[in-house]
Amino acid sequence: MLVTGGAKRIGAAIARAFAGAGWHVVIHYGTSQAQAEALAAELPSAEIVSCDLNDWEQGPAMIAALAERLDDWRLLVNCASVFDLDTAQDLEPAVFETAMRVNAGMPARIGQAFLAQARSPQGRRLIHVTDQKLHNPNPDFFSYTMSKHALASTIRMLSMARADPRDRIYGIAPGAILASHDQTEAEAEISHRMNLLHRKATPRDIAGAALFLAGGWLASGETVFVDSGQHLLAQERDVLFLARQ
């Protein structure tokens, strides 16, 4: 399996979970080479690979190189993303362009390449990590939120277009999991309980959902929300700012 953004944070938790379940893990990183190397060294079967997901050509080239040498490549988890601030009152063009390419366009592009080139006798699994903001949007992180909506729209479309009925395309929509942007740990402790269960969702929860989906038990095209019910609320701002009020 390949996990993009696998050197740190949620991506690293996914890498550890799959390694613990006996998978060979390919850890993608952008600039976090030291963290990727350290993580790979602690896992029983792992390797690292690097490419710039903001470059339209590097992502597909990475997929082609892996598909050529991996005999049973079953899973791609698109976890890497950028999370930069702009608002519904002031879209920042540079933020928008990077978010749409890294968070939506490139995951779709390498997902297409994976489904076309990877070989697995039991069918392939493509998982996009999206966001609970799909159902609970707010005006903050405007371009980021648009990019996750765009990525989510590809799940059903790619599922409809799959050539092999054994393939599955899924989404995982997390809530607030780790401190993000300029958030302190104290603020995260408050904001991450702003959900129906008043419970912090964890990186291990996301990794567990990915392991479940890798089995292909659900119909292709489905998205699983892992957010302690946050997507069922109406929050006027991002929880990062709600924790400061």
pLDDT digits (tens, 9 = 90+) for 227-238: 999 999 999 999
- Cα 102-11-201 angle, rounded to 5 deg: 110
Q: Which two three-digit tokens encode residue 240? A: 């990062």
* Structural domains for the chain: 2-242 (3.40.50.720)
Instruction: Provide the pLDDT for residue 89.
Output: 97
**φ and ψ of 29, to 5 deg:** -140, 155
Tell me the C-alpha distance between 156 and 168, whole Å.
10
Q: Identity (one letter) of the amino acid at 32?
A: S
Helix (H) / strand (E) containing 143: helix 142-161
pLDDT of 14 above 90: yes
Please tell me whether residue 177 adopts helix, strand or coil conformation: coil
Q: Chain centroid to CA 118: how far?
A: 19
Distance between CA 24 and CA 221 in Å, rounded?
25
pTM of the model: 0.96
Tell me: the pLDDT tens digits for 177-201?
888 777 788 888 888 899 999 998 9
Distance set, CA 22 to CA 25, 121, 143, 169 (Å)? 9, 18, 37, 22
